[in-house]
Amino acid sequence: MIESLLLTTARVSTFFGTQALTGASGFFFQRDDRLYLVTNRHVLIDRPSGHLPDRIEIEVHTDADNLTHSAVISVLLYRDGQAIWHQGRDSAGAIDVATIELDRAAMPAAVMLRAFTPAHLQHRLQEVKVGTPLLVVGFPLGFHDTLHHLPVVRQAVIASSFGLRFQGQGYFLTDARTHRGTSGAPVVMHDDAGDPQLPWKLLGVHSARMEMGGQGLPVEESLGLNCAWYADILLTLTAAPSIGALSEDGPASM
């Protein structure tokens, strides 16, 4: 049996029309009967770098008995010039997490995936200590099991006080070796007492490595620390309607 955690995460490929742009990670989150893809905001739009995709593609499994079978789903990011994905803000500014609702009718009839739910969020913050082991599930540099269409995992630990906003921002730190392409990956902690079908707590959404701009440090002396946005933002971004969520204008207006 394939581990359910590996079925929560999909490779995200961004496009402008038919032009391929970048690769990243994303994961599934279900609330009531609605299914969402979660990734980083900067995967879907990054004006400073000129990254302005108008659609994404994700790959899903279509045969529970044969993981080599998959289908690619194309998801438009804008309708009538307005984003159909949502992002959030708090008192410190924009949060680098975005959600887009997936049309179940556009999914293959035999689609096989696993989704986190609000029950997988960590509500008792004091239970998560500094040094707690974590996993980051994603597609670093696009690397994955291309035969079975599965992500890989990297080990991590909590590297800042969980529950506190590091330097006033809505994220905590992890200590892990990460690469481009991991953006949007779920950051999870094993939970023996939780959902037996998906025994993991969803703590955060990996965003980026911490940079020490201007320090001139060689790569071998870099911090190796990463930002993970607290996953409870998903309760705001998947509310109906999305109270507190924001949308962006489409590429044509930028």
- In this prediction the pTM is 0.91
Q: Which residues of the chain have pLDDT under 50?
A: 220, 242-244, 252-254
* Nearest Cα residue to 48 out of 209, 206, 254, 248: 254
Q: Model confidence over 146-163: pLDDT tens digits?
A: 999 999 999 999 999 999
Name the β-bridge partners of 136.
154, 187
The structural domain count of the chain equals: 1
- Cα separations (Å) of 113 from 8, 150, 202? 6, 11, 16
CATH of the domain at 101: 2.40.10.120
Q: Model confidence over 171-215: pLDDT tens digits?
A: 999 999 899 999 999 999 999 888 999 999 999 999 988 766 555
Phi, psi of 205, rounded to the nearest 5 degrees: -120, 115
- Cα separations (Å) of 170 from 8, 88, 90, 95? 23, 11, 8, 7
Tell me how far apart the alpha carbons of residues 194 and 217 are, in angstroms, rounded to a whole number: 42
* Full residue range of the structural domain in which residue 28 is found: 4-253
Tell me how far apart the alpha carbons of residues 77 and 12 are, in angstroms, rounded to a whole number: 13
